[in-house]
Amino acid sequence: MTTLNEELPLARKKRLDNKYAYFLVLPALAPVLILSVVPLLNGIYLGFTDARAGLNQETNFTGLENYTELLSNDLFWSSFKIGLIWAFSVTILQFLAALGLALLLNLNLRLRWLTRTLALVPWAMPPVIVGIMWQLVYHPDAGLVNEALYRVGLGDLSTNWLGDFSTALPAVIVVGVWAGMPQTTVVLLAGLQGVPAELNEAASVDGAGTWRRFWSITLPQLRPVIVAITSLDFIWNFNSFGLVYVLTTGGPGGKTMLPMLFAYEEAFKYGHFGTAAAMGNAMVLIIVVLLFFYLRRRMREVNA
Amino acid sequence: MSRLRSPKRKRSPKRKAARFLQYLALVGYLAFLSFPLLWMLSTSFKTPREVVELHPSLIPRDPTLDNYTTAFTQQHLARAAWNSLQVSVGAAVLTVVIALPAAYALARVRSKVNTVATAWILLSQLFPFILLVIPLFIILKGAGLTNSLFGLVLVYVTWSLPFALWMLQGFVRGIPRELEEAAAMDGASKFQTLVRIVAPLLAPGVVAVTLFAFISSWNEFFFALVLLKRPELATLPLELAKFVGIEGIARLGPLAAGSLMATIPSLIFFAFLQRRLTSGGLAGAVKG
C-alpha cells in the first residue's frame, strides 16, 4: 500500500529516532561500563598480578604464581571447605524449609496472612541487622537460645554458640537459612501457583493421594523453578559476606572464615590485592564448574 | 445412603490429623521466623540492668524508651542515619534520572542493548564483590573519591542501574504506543507527549524502582566498609556493625533499638510490595 515516496522519509526518520535513542541510552551505559564492567575485568586481571595496596606500587604480571601460592596456603583450603559446607547446607536447608512453607502458604489455612507477612521480614532486613539480631539471640548470657534451653531443663547444653569452635559454623548456618528463606519461599510459591489446578484434580479423581500428587505432579512441574532458585541461592550464599562478617568476622579461630571474608582480609587488612583477586577468580571457577555439572544433570533428567 | 457416607466418615479423622499437622508446622515456622524479631524488640525496651541479668525474660520488666534516645544521642546513629539517607536518596534519584530516558528509548526502539543488560544482570551475580571492589577502590582513590559519600553514591548507582533499566523497560512496554501516536496526531510535541501522557502512566513504576534503588543502598554494607574509612562518614549498617563486638553487653539495648529503627524504611518498602510478592504476581516473572 505504501508508495516509494512515502517509504524513504520514513526510513530516514527511523534512523534519526535510533540516534536519538542512543543519545538517551548513553548516560546509563557509561557509568555501568566505567564503574562495573571495566573494574570487573580489571579485577579478574589483578588476580594474575602481584598488585598491592598503597601508593607508587608497581604491579607486575605474575601468571599463575598467586594460585600456586594459594594452593599451598592452609587458610585458603580451610576457607574453601568452610565456604562449600556453608553454601551447600544453607542452600539445601533453605530450599527444604522454603518448600514446606510455600506448600503451607498455598493451602487455605488460618494464620496464613500472618505467616506470609512475617516470612517477608527477614528479606526486608539489612544483612547487618540480621547479624546483630542473631548476636542477641545467641548471646551466651542474655541470649534467647540459652535461656530457652534453661527453661526446658536443658541448661547443660547452653554454650557460647558463636564463640565455640564446634557450634559456630552450624549456628551461622541457621542464621543463613533464616535470612534467605523468604526469597526462596516467594519464588517457590509463585511456581506452585503456576501448577495447573486441573492436573491435580484429574489425579485426585484417578485416586492419587496427597503424597502421590506431590511427587508425581507438583515436584515435576516445579522443577524449572527449583533449578533456577537453588542455583541462584548457591551463588549468593557462596559469595555472601555481610551476615557472617557481623556475626563472627570469620572466628572463632577461622571456623567461619568464608572465602569472601578471607579475600576481604587479604585485600584490606594485609594489602594483598593480587592474592585477594586470585581468590575471587578461584571462587568464580568453583561456581562455574559446580553449576555446569548441576545444570547438565538436570538437563539430562528433563530429556530422559 | 449409609454405604455412600461411610467412606467419607472414615477419611475425616485422617484429614483432621493432616490438618493438625499442617497447623503444627505453620506454628513452627511462625516461631522460627518471629522469635528473633521479638527478642530484639524486647531487648530494645529493657533497662541496662535487665539486659545483663542471667535469666532474661521475653517481656521486659519495666519497659523503657531510654535505649531509643541513647541510640540516637550517644551512638552517632543519628549522624550515620543522615549519611545513609543522603547516600540512598542520592543513589535512588540519580539511578532513576539516568535509567528513565534510557529505559524509554530501549523499550521503544528495538535494540540489542536490552538483551545485553539482562545478560549483565544475570552474569554479574556470578562474580564475588571482591573482584569488583579492588579495582573500584583503586579508581576511586585515584579520583579522590574514597572517603566520600559521593563516591559511594556513584558505586550504588552503577550497581542499581542494570536492574532499574530492566524493570523500567517493562513498565514502559505496558503503555500502549497508540496513546503516544494519538497525541502526536493531535499536534503534541515529543516533549509534551512525554510529560503529559507517558510520565503519569509511568509514575507507579518509577516509584517502585526508586524505592528499590533506595533500599539496596540503604542496606548495603560491603562497599561502604571498603570505601569509607573516616568514622564521621559511616553509613548506618557500618555504624551499627561497629558497635557489635567492641562495646560489649551493656550496649545491647541501644544496639537493638538502633537496629530496629534502621529496618523501618525497608519494612515500609516490603509492606508496599507484600501483596504483589505473595499473591502470585511474581509467577509470570519467574516463568518468563
Query: How does DSSP assign A274-302, residue by residue?
Result: HHHHHHHHHHHHHHHHHHHHHHHHHHHHH
- Residue B245 CB neighbour total at 10 angstroms: 12
Q: Is A111 exposed, middle or buried (0-12, 13-18, 19+ CB in 10 A)?
A: middle
The C-alpha cell that represents A157 in the structure block = 547444653
CB contact under 8 A, A132 and B34: no
SS3 B192: helix
The confidence score (pLDDT) of residue B282 equals: 38
- Residue A270 CA: distances (Å) to CA of A51, B141, B250, B271: 12, 18, 32, 43
- According to the model, what pLDDT value does residue A125 have? 86
Confidence at B50, pLDDT banded by 50, 70, 90: confident
* Higher pLDDT, residue B15 or B246: B15
Using the Cβ of B189 and the Cβ atoms of chain A, whether some distance falls under 8 Å is answered with no
Question: Per residue in B228-275, pLDDT tens?
Answer: 989 899 999 998 888 776 555 557 888 888 888 888 888 877 777 666
Q: Confirm or reject contact between B246 and chain A (CB < 8 A).
A: no
Beta bridge partners of A61: A49
**C-alpha cell read off for B248:** 560489649
| Chain B environment of A44 (Cβ under 8 Å) | 131
Q: What is the pLDDT of residue B246?
A: 56
Asked if B90 and B71 count as a contact pair (C-beta separation under 8 A), the reply is no
Dihedrals phi, psi of A61, to nearest 5 degrees: -75, 125
Question: A109, B26: Cβ pair inside 8 Å?
Answer: yes
Q: How far apart are CA B179 and CA B193, in angstroms?
A: 9
Q: Which residue has the cell 505432579?
A: A217
Q: Do B108 and A44 count as a contact with CB atoms less than 8 A apart?
A: no
Cell of B54: 542471667
Tell whether the torsion through CA atoms of A264, B233, B97 and B167 is positive or negative.
Answer: positive
Cβ distance A232 to B108 less than 8 Å, yes or no, reads no
- How distant is the alpha carbon of residue B209 from its chain centre? 11
| A264 vs B162, more confident | A264
Q: Which of the pair, B124 or A301, is modelled with greater confidence?
A: B124
Whole-number pLDDT of residue B95: 93
CA distance A212 to A205: 13
Write down the residue that cell numbers 576481604 correspond to: A264
The per-residue pLDDT for B225 is 93
Range 249-288 of B in CB contact (< 8 A) with A = 249, 252, 255-256, 259, 262-263, 266-267, 269-270, 274, 277-278, 280-283, 285-287
pTM to 2 decimal places: 0.84
pLDDT of residue A13: 54
pLDDT at A14: 55
How far apart are alpha carbons A299 and B7 in whole angstroms?
43
The answer to whether B185 contacts chain A (CB < 8 Å) is: no
Q: For residues B76 and B83, what is the distance between their CA atoms, to the nearest angstrom?
A: 11
Q: Which residue of A has its CA nearest to B271?
A: A117
Cell of B49: 540492668
The tens-digit pLDDT sequence of chain A (304 residues) is 444 444 455 555 555 566 777 777 888 888 888 888 899 999 999 999 888 887 667 788 888 889 998 899 888 999 999 999 999 999 999 999 999 999 998 887 887 778 877 888 888 888 899 998 998 899 888 788 888 888 888 878 888 898 889 999 999 999 999 999 988 998 898 888 888 888 888 888 888 787 888 888 888 888 888 998 999 899 999 999 989 999 988 878 889 999 999 999 999 999 899 999 999 999 999 999 999 988 888 777 766 6
- Closest Cα to residue B166, out of B105, B203, B118? B118
Which single residue is written with the C-alpha cell 531487648?
B43
Least confident of B94-108, B182-196, B227-241: B182-196
Q: CB of B77 within 8 Å of any CB in chain A?
A: no
- Beta-bridged to residue A49, according to DSSP, are A61
Comparing CB atoms, the residue among B26, B124, B283 nearest residue A194 is B283
Helix locations, chain B, DSSP H: 2-44, 48-51, 66-74, 77-108, 113-124, 129-142, 149-173, 177-185, 190-193, 199-219, 222-227, 236-245, 252-278, 283-287
Task: Give A116's contacts in chain B (Cβ within 8 Å).
Answer: 274, 278
Asked whether the predicted pLDDT for residue B30 surpasses 80, the reply is: yes
User: How distant, in Å, are the alpha carbons of A136, A296, B163 from that of B288?
Assistant: 41, 21, 16
